[in-house]
Every structure is written in C-alpha cells, then in structure tokens.
C-alpha cells in the first residue's frame, strides 16, 4: 500500500511538472527551434553610478550601500593658494540600492551648506536576445536640495521652502562595446527663490556623458551640460498694471568635466578636472561661473566604496 502511494505521488508530481514545463511559452526548446537567444542584460556601461558630476545610467545593485566622498579644490590659476590646493569644498553621500533598478541617495555639500536627496529608477535596461531586446537603457531621476545657510534678510518673513530646489532628469544611454558607452540626459532644474525678479526659476539643460575604456582598470570619462538659455527664458507677469518682465538666465557657464576612472578592488577612484564646484545637479547647473578658457579649472576627485549590507 505504501509503495502504491509513493508511485501515485511520483506520477502526479511528474505529470504536473511536465505541464509546468510545456506551459511556458519561452522554454528553451522553443527558443532553440526558433533560433532565439535567451535575454541578456547589458551591464557595466559605467563603473560608477556617476559619470563625474552627473548621474550615469549605471546602478549599484540591490542591497548595496555606496559611500561617496567628493572633493573639489580651488582653481588651478590661483598660484597664491598653491594652484587651488589650499582651498577645497566637499560632498559626502550615501546611496542605497533598494532593488537592482531603484536607488535612493542623500548627501551634504559644504558649498552652500546644502543637503540633497534623490530617487533613481530604471524602467528599461539595455539587453540582447529574447523576444523584446532593448538597444538602450532609460533612467528616471528626481532630486531635491535644501540649503542650511542663514537667511540673507532675517528681519523679513522667510519660508523653509524658499531654500529648496528641485531637479528632474531622464537618461538615455547605450553601451556600444566593451570599451565605449555614451548617454544623453535632458534635465530640468527649479529654484524656489531667486535673487531678482527677472531671474528664471526654471532652467533646462541637455547633459551628455561618455566612458572610454583604456585598460582593464582605467577608463577616460567626461560629462558636459549645455544650458538651454533660450528655453529657460520666459515671461513673468507682474502685478496688475505692470508690464510683463522678461526673465533671463543668470550668467551660468556650461559645466564641463573630464577625468579618469581607476578601479582598485572595492573602490572606484575618479581623478578629474572641472570648471564646476557644485556636486549635485541643481548646484553645478546653476552655480557654475568659471571658464575653462581663463584657466578657472578645478582639480578634484570622487571616491566610491561599496558595501553589501543586505542579502540578495
């Protein structure tokens, strides 16, 4: 009786297992017959979640904590301050991978004594094979900043929201080969409180970033953000009876950064030169005033160390 029960159990198990296998429309036999390859996600387009200043299309992974320390020295044409090395601003941050496609982060910069936070989501990842391969990765990012500097005019009525700024970004990128990756990133920055009534609250920019692998552990990287001054300019209607005042984008300079990624075990070390001091999208898009042509270039580095803090 016991043997018959075991036979019945194994027979039923085998029957349902067979149904489960044949019920899958994309089983391996079907894919072989159709000449299809299994879907493969393209990874490591960039070795860091940041190109240099801006976000990259890369993610740090589920359960991973990325501790980031960023330094920007003074301009190299400042001979009195040892080519800028006597001056420095920094940002420290913590990014955490909730899933492989969802990262949140928070950081604090000495420039403007500013806190920033962001959420980064990837609805589409570059892939090959399978039924629906994707030639590109698409990443959505939304961030917020808040300054903790004292009020410029403490005697007037001030609001906490006046110290806040926001940015939204879409990244579209592709890893063309093992040696080259490129991305483009339309970006919108909003500043709640501006210095003058004619200053624009909303600034639009187009960012781009690239990585060129030079050796097993070294790669050349660059990022650039072009500020769309014509798009950012709009009409501001004053009080009743006043004429419309045309707003303008302040004297922002397009931030350009070039450098090298160096992998050393669990670290990614970035050495670079940039005309930007800010280290979040709102800061480096709206606060860059230095020019490469005048030697107003800052040496800096980014240090990234990842820790796996949750089981996959």
Domains and CATH numbers, the chain: 30-308 (2.40.160.40)
Burial 131-154 (b: 16+ CB within 10 A, else e): eeebebbbbebebbbbbeeeeeee
pLDDT score of 69 more than 70: yes
pLDDT tens for 233-244 read: 654 444 444 445
Question: With contact defined as beta carbons under 8 Å apart, do 285 and 205 qualify?
Answer: yes
pLDDT tens for 179-235 read: 999 999 999 999 888 777 777 888 999 999 999 999 989 999 999 999 987 665 654
pLDDT at residue 13, rounded to an integer? 46
pLDDT tens for 283-294 read: 999 888 899 988
Which residues are CB-neighbours of 213 under 8 A, at least 6 positions away?
Answer: 178, 179, 180, 219
**Lookup: tokens for 134:** 């994707």
Number of H helices, E strands in the chain: 4, 16
Instruction: Report the range of poorest mean pLDDT among 47-56, 95-104, 182-191, 222-231.
Output: 222-231
Nearest CA to 307 out of 70, 106, 95 is that of 95
How many Cβ atoms are within 10 Å of 282's Cβ, its own excluded? Answer: 23
From its phi and psi, is residue 79 left (phi > 0), alpha (psi between -120 and 50) or beta?
Answer: alpha
pLDDT score of 12 more than 60: no
Q: Is 3 exposed, middle or buried (0-12, 13-18, 19+ CB in 10 A)?
A: exposed
């Amino acid at each position: 009786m016991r043997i018959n029960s075991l036979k019945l159990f194994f027979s039923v198990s085998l029957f349902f297992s067979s149904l489960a296998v044949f019920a899958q429309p994309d089983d391996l036999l079907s894919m072989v017959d159709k000449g299809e390859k299994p879907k493969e996600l393209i990874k490591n387009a960039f070795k860091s979640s940041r190109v240099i200043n801006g976000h990259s299309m890369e993610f740090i992974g589920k359960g991973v904590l990325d501790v980031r320390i960023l330094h920007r020295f003074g301009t190299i044409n400042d001979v009195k301050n040892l080519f800028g090395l006597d001056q420095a601003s920094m940002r420290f941050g913590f990014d955490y991978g909730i899933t492989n496609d969802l990262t949140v982060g928070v950081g604090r910069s000495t420039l403007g004594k500013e806190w920033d936070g962001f959420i980064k989501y990837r609805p589409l990842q570059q892939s090959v094979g399978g039924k629906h391969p994707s030639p590109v990765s698409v990443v959505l990012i939304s961030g917020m900043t808040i300054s903790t500097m004292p009020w410029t005019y403490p005697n007037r009525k001030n609001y906490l929201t006046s110290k806040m700024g926001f940015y939204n970004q879409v990244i579209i990128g592709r890893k063309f080969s093992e040696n080259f990756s490129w991305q483009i990133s339309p970006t919108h920055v909003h500043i709640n409180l501006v210095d003058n009534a004619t200053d624009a609250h909303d600034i639009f920019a187009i960012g781009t970033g690239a990585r060129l692998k030079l050796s097993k552990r070294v790669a050349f990287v660059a990022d650039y953000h072009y500020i769309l001054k014509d798009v950012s300019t709009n009409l501001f209607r004053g009080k009743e009876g006043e004429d419309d005042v045309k707003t303008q984008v302040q004297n922002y300079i397009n931030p350009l950064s070039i450098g090298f990624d160096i992998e050393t075990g669990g670290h990614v070390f970035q050495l670079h030169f940039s005309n930007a001091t800010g280290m979040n999208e709102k800061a480096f898009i709206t606060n860059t005033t230095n020019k490469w042509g005048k030697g107003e270039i800052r040496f800096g580095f980014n240090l990234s160390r990842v820790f796996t803090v949750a089981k996959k």
